[in-house]
Amino acid sequence: MGRRIDIVEVGPRDGLQNDPANLSVDQKLEFIARLEAAGVRRMESGSFVSPKAVPKMADSPAVFAGLDRAKPTRHIALALNETGVRRAIEARADEINFVLVAGEGFGRRNQGMSPQESADMLARCAPLVLEEGIPLSATISVAFGDPYDGDVDIGVVGSLAAQAQRAGVAELALGDTIGAATPWDVRRRIDRVRMEAPDVFLRMHFHDTRGAGLANVFAAVEAGVDVIDASCGGIGGCPFAPAATGNVATEDVVWMLERAGFETGLDLGRLIDTAKWLETVLGHPVASSLSRAGAFPV
Ligand code: COA
Ligand code: ZN
């Protein structure tokens, strides 16, 4: 048995939140069901943010209401404030992922918060989640660079991680919202977070905006990280990040890892079929390499 790497599928949330297409609730549920059929067991299925800020996620309560709860999938809801956390609990989210922000410029535009204000908001919201017995995770957005302010101080990332640990976060992702990370910086920031928040489990969240996405996944896996976010087709991006592009594509990450002997538990053929199906419902091509080239060996 190879080492196990768990993929968290973020297509239904990070992927669809910024796509020009407007999928119906039924189409979103079909996307989720296809991902489940491909073996996905943990997925960001929606976000509970202001519908004015992100109209494409306004139907997340309806999506959560339509989920097939008999399946073993853990459905994650994204939240950025107390209203969001309460709405996610109401929707019976299996896990809540809270968004911290490492840059002031992006933080103000994305969520109306400075980095410290996002940490204070988490400290306020965490007890609401924990007392319901719901697993709490967090993502530090723009952890490698802010589209408005430029470089992000590694000390800010470390401090947010320490505060997340104190708040009771079980798993923390470093989010490269705009594709600013390099493999060497990935290593440095992982080391720093491990020093400042030794008890949290690490996950990584990369966008392939500048071509370093898979190299960054490699660096994270080499550094011992066992959980990677990815979106089927490589769709998506953040509406508040200029020139945003999608996450590393699930099928590309799975192919690379499985070919190297890691186990993801995902069915590559079904992922590729789902990426191709996505092209038909989105009305445009998706970005992943495997959906074009297919797997190797054939
Ligand atoms: N869900 C639904 N509505 C919400 C909400 C939530 N989680 N949080 C706030 N609102 C509503 C308020 O009720 C208020 O509505 P009104 O104008 O009808 O009175 C309005 O949004 C503004 O509320 P306020 O608390 O002042 O928030 P804000 O304007 O400072 O915005 C956020 C803060 C977090 C709500 C907003 O920036 C946001 O939703 N950002 C999401 C960004 C995002 O999802 N990015 C991609 C993923 S990281
Ligand atoms: Zn993202």
Distance, in Å, from the CA atom of 222 to the CA atom of 249, rounded to the nearest integer, reads 19
Closest CA to 179 of 145, 152, 203: 145
* pLDDT at residue 253, as a whole number: 98
Tokens 């719901």 -> residue: 134
Domain ranges of the chain: 6-293
Contact 296, 35 (CB under 8 A): no
Question: φ, ψ for residue 67 (rounded to 5)?
Answer: -65, 145
* pLDDT at residue 1, as a whole number: 76
* pLDDT at residue 119, as a whole number: 99
* pLDDT at residue 120, as a whole number: 99
CATH homologous superfamily of 6-293 equals Aldolase class I (3.20.20.70)
* 105, burial (CB in 10 Å: exposed 0-12, middle 13-18, buried 19+): middle
* pLDDT at residue 43, as a whole number: 98
Q: Of 49, 56, 85, which is best to mutate to test ligand 1, by the most ligand atoms within 8 angstroms of its C-beta?
A: 49
Question: Which parts of the chain register pLDDT below 50?
Answer: none
- Ligand 1, CB within 6 Å, residue ranges: 17, 47-50, 53-54, 80-81, 83-84, 87, 99, 110-112, 141, 238, 240
- Predicted TM-score (pTM) of this structure: 0.98
Chain centroid to Cα 193, Å, comes to 18
